[in-house]
Copies of this chain bind each other. A is one copy, B any other.
Amino acid sequence: MGATAELARFAADFRCEDLPPEVLRESKRCILNYLGVSLGAARHPAVGILADAILEMGGQEQATILGWRTRTSATNAALVNGAMSHLLDFDDTHLPTVIHPTGPVLSAALPLAEWKRLDGRHLMTALALGMEIELRIGMAVHPSHYDAGWHITGTVGTFGAAAASAWLLGLDAARFAHALGLAGTQAAGLREMFGSMAKSLHVGKAASNGMLAALLAAKGFTASTEVLEGRRGFCHVLAGDYDLSRALDGLGSRYIMLENGFKPYACGVVTHPTIDGIRQLARAHHLIPTEVAEIETRVHPLVLELTGKRSPRTGLEGKFSIYFCAAIAMIEGNAREAQFTDENVVRPDVTAMMDRVRVVVDPSLREGQSMVTIRTVDGRELNQRVEAAQGTPGNPVPDDELQEKFMELAQSTIPRDRAERLVEATLHLESLVDLRHLVELAAA
């Protein structure tokens, strides 16, 4: 049996009760994080344009645009919600493949489940299964696929969205393979788009294309059933160097989605070990900003390459400045959306602190590590080594911090009490009979 058929067979046979408790638990965390980062972006101009365009096209009122008072077709909702979930660059990340896995999958599964009036248990299972297919295909083609210039969340995400949708629709193994084929042949998204709205569009397209793949396959539309291993299939054409045994190893016993991580901070992921170290030192020593003479952070070489911006001019640029991230973490104790404002990057106390930040490249450190030293005006030297940044598998973001992140983001779009009820509903998702209850809480 080829890899495509093997994944299709596994997925078609999968049952809710097959999910281990820790996967079920993680899947709730993924949903909560997703709802937060999506609601936090619901008022973004890019979302407005997308919603405007699809509402002009119209559609049956099957599913809800998150953070809006609008229902549209399930594929339309998938498109807008998917883009929304990625706009803040604050979604989850599977570091070994750099896939942001929940966005494409849940942006397909949630509207489809809403449309078909399915329950919370099915949604969680579809998400976990879709992520598993997505991440495993990602592992098979990473890093050559990303290195070639593909936005892997957009491309491989299409498989995840198709798998979750196909499972929710109850496809048998044969049709499941066609759904994967139809997904792979729609997969797209160029890294050249980074820095533009198109980057988020990739996630929306992955979700809606993946759902379409499953809807078509359910009705008997055909594709190649060897989309992964075929000579002119996805892996060969879009990756070159790939190994499908990595997609199949431990299928059903080892869950890749457990290696997924959440970003605690709303900025470039390579800045996180530094922010962690600073927050830990500031708390442990009750530091106040005026006590700080110098912040030195020793980091992996990628940090300066990706976030070396000395003088950011906007909040968005601040997310890619290790200097600003370090300074604001020292001054405000966090680095969430509220910190990355256009005002903050030019605040005199912040820029003064930025001048006191020194970044030292140390190739002996890994990306998730840092060695932070704070020297105080009274001559103390405080050291903190970070072995695994918060949000990486060795150091998961605690539930309460994840909920705080959600609350901060969600309240930019929905009232506090509704956000709180949304947390509750997500925490007890396995007992939710009709997903419309969840979705109504997340509407404007």
Contacts and interface: CB of A to CB of B under 8 A. Distances in A.
A232 B155 CA distance: 15
A185 B197 contact: no
Contacts of A232: 149, 190-192, 194
Given A60-B56, A60-B58, A190-B184, A222 B236 contact: no
A219 interface: yes
B219 A52 contact: yes
Interface in A210-252: 212, 215-216, 219-224, 226-227, 230-234, 236-237
A426 interface: no
Interface stretch (A70-78, A277-285, A350-358): A70-78
A73 B53 contact: no
Contact of A192 (B192, B198, B222, B224): B224
Contacts of A95: none
Given A184-B190, A189-B185, A197-B221, A59 B46 contact: no
Nearest to A218: B53
A216 B57 contact: no
A45 interface: yes
Contacts of A53: 212, 215-216, 219, 221
Interface string A183-216: 0111111111111111001100100000010011
A398 to B, nearest CB: 36
B234 A222 contact: no
A207 to B, nearest CB: 13
Contacts of A190: 184-185, 224, 227, 230, 232-234, 237
A198 B181 contact: yes
Copies in the complex: 2
Given A60-B58, A148-B237, A198-B224, A216 B49 contact: yes
A227 B191 CA distance: 10
A75 to B, nearest CB: 5
A195 B220 CA distance: 15
A202 B224 CA distance: 13
Contacts of A223: 193, 196-198
A272 B202 CA distance: 41
Interface residues of A, number: 58
A150 interface: yes
A154 B185 CA distance: 10
Interface in A132-179: 148-150, 154
A50 interface: yes
B192 A221 contact: no
A338 to B, nearest CB: 25
A418 B198 CA distance: 43
A110 to B, nearest CB: 16
Contacts of A60: 56-58
A182 interface: yes
A323 to B, nearest CB: 26
A49 B231 contact: no
Contacts of A224: 190, 192-193, 195-196, 198
A220 B49 contact: yes
Interface string A74-106: 111000000000000000000000000000000
A185 B186 CA distance: 11
B237 A222 contact: no
Contacts of A73: 57-59
B182 A201 contact: yes
Given A185-B190, A198-B221, 12 more contacts: A49-B221, A53-B221, A57-B59, A57-B60, A57-B74, A59-B59, A149-B232, A149-B237, A190-B227, A190-B234, A198-B222, A201-B216
11 contacts: A49-B216, A52-B219, A57-B59, A58-B73, A149-B231, A149-B237, A184-B190, A190-B232, A191-B232, A192-B237, A197-B222
6 tightest CB-CB pairs across the interface, nearest first? A58-B60, A149-B232, A149-B237, A198-B223, A57-B73, A192-B232
